[in-house]
């Protein structure tokens, strides 16, 4: 009997060791767990994404225009998150003669306060916005074009 | 003891799985793939020019049109206004680019010396920075009589205009059939002479057509123009 007890204990210890070995490093600060906030186009309920960035299209750009793109963060998770950083880039253009370059369209840094807290299973429209700037000397071929602005963010998990 | 061993084994496995799950939940288990959001930024299109209203006023052409916007509250900063000759033979187009005045309507006056002796229609092209819109539909036609020679012949040449040729000698004053005094001459500074100016074509003479002298005309800037055709 003593032998089987030792056998059981040893097996449990080995199993625990294996699981701990394959597990990732535990966080050093529980409230500061880093999470990548990513957005998506449309609803993908079965997708792997946990955070969603939403925004309305910007319209009516013209040479010299500065338009503000408002962003809403939707958090479907059961704990609060803290949005630490938002980044945006001009990724493409619908017109061949109007490339997605800084000479035709620029995106400035997010203008609001960060970090911003989003409640568990909550939704928050950020107080700031991302300025979209069309330079004065933008190409005339950009008239009527559609630019794609790619937005992503990084946040932290907050305490439960 | 055998029972105790089994219990120990089960408890150990459960505890290990719980601890590992917690570690996953707080760390690598939340790693998300990179799939950033994509939003659209739409660029406005340049509007087509608005067909202008035209009127004759003391021998000049007054062109008026509504101000245009590329976006709500954002108006064009310039307009190109072109006079298209519909005379036969046609005269060269005359284009003026004017800065927007900021009001709801814009206007420009084509001087009598530019339109005299011709038949014209006008179009508007809106401009914003370096962007140029489509040309408007042409306005209705206006016919202008040839410029009275008397006034023009006595107008001094512009000394500041180095390209303006000086008339060899003043043309004799044209007689007007009604003795009407001629309109004051106004020409665009530095405008080049109109080599193809031939005056109004036959059949388009309006009641204001009063000049009878076939002599060369001299505009206010001292440019010698050929006499109107058909006279």
Say yes or no to pLDDT of B154 above 50. no
- Convert the pLDDT of each residue in B85-139 to its tens digit: 999 889 999 999 999 998 999 999 999 999 999 999 999 999 999 999 999 999 9
- A29-88 tens-digit pLDDT: 334 344 455 544 444 444 444 678 888 889 999 999 999 999 999 888 888 888 888 899
Interval B32-85: pLDDT, tens: 334 578 999 999 999 999 999 999 999 999 999 999 999 999 999 999 999 999
Contact A35 B32 (CB under 8 A): yes
Which residue out of A2, A6, A9, A12 would a mutagenesis test of the B interface target, given it has the greatest number of B Cβ atoms within 10 Å? A12
CA distances (Å), origin B230, targets A4, A154, B11, B150: 128, 81, 117, 19
Torsion of CA B8, B12, B18, B21, to 10 degrees: -160
- Kindly state whether A157 is in contact with chain B, defined as any CB-CB distance less than 8 angstroms: yes
Residue B173 located in a structural domain:
no
A-B CB pairs within 8 A amount to: 193
Cβ neighbours around B50 below 10 Å, total: 18
- Residue whose entry in the numeric block shows the structure tokens 């630490």: A84
Give a yes or no: residue B27 inside a domain.
no
Which CATH number is B105's domain given? 2.60.40.10
- Residue B45 has its nearest CB partner, among A38, A90, A144, at A144
Burial class for B14, CB neighbours closer than 10 Å (0-12, 13-18, 19+): exposed
Decide if B118 is inside a domain: yes
Domain count within chain B: 1
Domain that holds residue B100: 53-143
B117 located within any domain: yes
The rounded distance, in Å, linking the Cα atoms of A107 and B188 is 44
Report yes or no: A79 at the B interface, CB cutoff 8 Å.
Answer: no
Q: Which of A84, A87, A86, A88 is nearest to A115 (CA)?
A: A84
**Any CB–CB contact under 8 A between A40 and chain B?**
yes
Residue B103 lies in a domain: yes
B74 neighbourhood in chain A, CB within 8 Å = 60, 62, 65
Give residues with Cβ within 8 angstroms of A149, minimum separation 6: A58, A69, A88, A89, A90, A91, A107, A130, A132, B38, B39, B40, B41
* B38 close contact with A: CB closer than 8 A: yes
pLDDT at A27 over 90: no
- For chain A, domains (ranges, CATH) are 29-157 (2.60.40)
Mean pLDDT score, A5-13: 67
A29 touching B, CB under 8 A? no
């Amino acid at each position: 009997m003593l032998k089987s007890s030792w056998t059981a204990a040893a097996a449990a210890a080995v199993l625990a060791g294996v699981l701990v070995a394959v597990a990732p490093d535990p966080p050093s600060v529980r409230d500061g767990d880093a999470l990548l906030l990513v957005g998506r186009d449309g609803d993908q309920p079965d997708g792997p994404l946990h955070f969603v960035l939403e925004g309305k299209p910007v319209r009516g750009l013209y040479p010299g225009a500065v338009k503000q793109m408002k962003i809403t963060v939707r958090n479907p998770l059961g704990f609060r998150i803290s949005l630490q950083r938002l980044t945006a880039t001009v990724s493409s253009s619908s017109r061949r003669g109007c490339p997605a370059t800084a000479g035709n369209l620029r995106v400035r840094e997010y203008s609001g306060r960060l970090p911003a807290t989003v409640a568990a299973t909550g939704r928050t429209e950020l107080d700031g916005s991302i300025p979209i700037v069309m330079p004065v000397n933008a190409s005339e071929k950009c008239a009527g074009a559609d630019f794609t602005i790619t937005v992503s963010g990084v946040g932290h998990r907050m305490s439960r | 003891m055998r029972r105790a061993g089994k219990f120990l084994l089960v408890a150990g496995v459960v505890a290990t799985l719980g601890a590992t799950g917690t570690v996953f939940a707080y760390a690598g288990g939340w790693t998300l793939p990179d799939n950033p959001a994509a939003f659209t930024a739409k660029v406005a299109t340049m509007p087509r020019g608005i067909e202008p209203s035209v009127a004759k006023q003391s021998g000049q052409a007054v062109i008026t049109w509504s101000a245009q916007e590329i976006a709500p509250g954002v108006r064009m900063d310039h307009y190109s206004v072109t006079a298209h000759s519909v005379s036969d033979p046609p005269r060269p187009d005359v284009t003026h680019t004017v800065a927007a005045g900021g009001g709801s309507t814009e206007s420009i006056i084509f001087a009598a010396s530019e339109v005299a002796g011709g038949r014209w229609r006008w179009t508007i092209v809106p401009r914003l920075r370096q962007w140029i819109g489509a040309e408007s539909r042409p306005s209705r036609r206006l016919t202008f009589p040839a410029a009275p020679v008397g006034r023009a012949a006595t107008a001094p040449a512009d000394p500041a205009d180095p390209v303006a040729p000086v008339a060899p000698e003043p043309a004799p004053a044209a007689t007007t059939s009604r003795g009407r005094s001629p309109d004051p001459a106004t020409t665009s500074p530095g405008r080049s002479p109109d080599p193809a100016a031939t005056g109004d074509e036959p059949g388009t003479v309006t009641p204001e057509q009063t000049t009878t002298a076939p002599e060369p005309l001299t505009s206010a800037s001292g440019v010698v123009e050929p006499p109107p055709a058909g006279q």
